[in-house]
Amino acid sequence: MPHLDSLPVTIADIEAAARVLAPQAVRTPLLSSAALDAIVGGRVFIKPELLQRTGSFKFRGAFNKLSSIPPDARKSGAVAFSSGNHAQGVALAAQLLGMHATIVMPSDAPVSKRERTKGYGADVILYDRHREDREAIAREIAGRTGATVVPPFDDPKVIAGQGTVGLEIAADLAAMGLTPDIVAAPASGGGLIAGIATAVKTRFPDVRVMSVEPADFDDHARSLKAGRREPLSPGGYTICDALMAPMPGEITFAINRALLAGGVTATDAEVGAAVALVYRELKLVVEPGGAVALAALLHGRMDAKSKTSVIVLSGGNVDADMYARLIA
């Protein structure tokens, strides 16, 4: 493993982000469940980022990034592109900092995510994810208005903000006198798992950190195996609408290639079952993309028997009709 200080985001960056976020972000707990322990045959802790502001971990990276924009540049606002969770994180962070936000969102994003983004005061620009380039649209807006582009994952300040999830996991486990064997989280562009890996491996160097993706959207698993970034073939569908990035980010993959033990997947059916189990056993609302790591654990994709595992539930922004179908 390379020296952690040689990577694009360091533990010092994450600790600095934690100081920025302390007055604003929710410090989510580690939850345990006897039912989950029994199913897995080991000790399982859940990190419920669905309890975070805006309903997902994305607020952490967005607020850290926007806070780093110089005061003079804040007058021109921020522009982001997102299917929903990053959109809401940027929108709320901008509102708190007195900035204007424009969000480029796919026209098929869940209505609840679009409406909540508007509710935080952002302007929403819709695009066709199959025919248009969201990054190009955002760059055009930034070029015209002077707004700062806030990437959803491939940015050191964003990754450092997401890494505070791992900082809290490591601190809480250490306080309990526990050493984790496995830490797993959902991956789309890879910013969350990159930040988590940096933080937890600083304190627990031998922990196996795993990315988890929907089946057929496994660009991280393929890229980690190949040792280079591998794009997905266009098309396909998953109920995990938050996890459809076509390729790992450059910065995120530089970190994840160095620190991750590998990547695994879960099917939509397995994810749906995990969403329902979280409802029944934990009394929490998790969105499909937020439950993919738990789905993989429950279906044996990671050897957790007689081990201590931490699973991140990354968000809870799900349309009511889909949620009703999944828990029925």
Q: What is the pTM of this model?
A: 0.96
Cα distances (Å, whole numbers) of residue 136 to 106, 109, 216, 250: 13, 18, 25, 17
By CB atoms closer than 10 A (0-12, 13-18, 19+), residue 67 is middle
The amino acid at 72: D
Residue in this structure with the two tokens 């010092």, named with its chain if needed: 12
Run means of pLDDT, 10 residues per run, the chain, 328 residues: 84 98 98 97 98 98 98 96 90 97 90 90 92 93 96 97 98 98 97 98 98 96 96 88 91 98 98 98 97 98 97 95 96
Coil, strand or helix: which one is 284? coil
Which pLDDT tens digit goes with each residue over 145-189? 999 999 999 999 999 999 999 999 999 999 999 999 999 999 999
79 neighbors 148 (Cβ within 8 angstroms): yes
116 neighbors 88 (Cβ within 8 angstroms): yes
Q: Which domains does the chain have, with CATH numbers?
A: 4-56+155-327 (3.40.50.1100), 58-149 (3.40.50.1100)
Count CB neighbours of 71 within 10 A: 8
Which pLDDT belongs to residue 84?
81
Which pLDDT belongs to residue 1?
59
Task: Tell me how far apart the terminal alpha carbons of the chain are, to the nearest angstrom.
Answer: 45
Per-state percent for the chain, helix, strand, coil, to nearest 5: 50, 15, 35
The string over 213-241, giving b where at least 16 C-beta atoms fall within 10 Å of a residue's C-beta and e elsewhere, is: bbbebbbbbbbbeeeebbebeeeeebbbb
The string over 89-114, giving b where at least 16 C-beta atoms fall within 10 Å of a residue's C-beta and e elsewhere, is: bbbbbbebbebbbbbbbbeebbebbb
Which pLDDT tens digit goes with each residue over 267-313? 999 999 999 999 999 999 999 999 999 999 999 999 999 999 999 99
121 neighbors 101 (Cβ within 8 angstroms): yes
The secondary structure of 9-70, three-state, reads CCHHHHHHHHHHHCCCCCCCCCEECHHHHHHHCCEEEEEEHHHCHHHECHHHHHHHHHHCCC
53 neighbors 59 (Cβ within 8 angstroms): yes
Which pLDDT belongs to residue 3?
76
Which pLDDT belongs to residue 202?
97
233 neighbors 183 (Cβ within 8 angstroms): no
Coil, strand or helix: which one is 209? strand
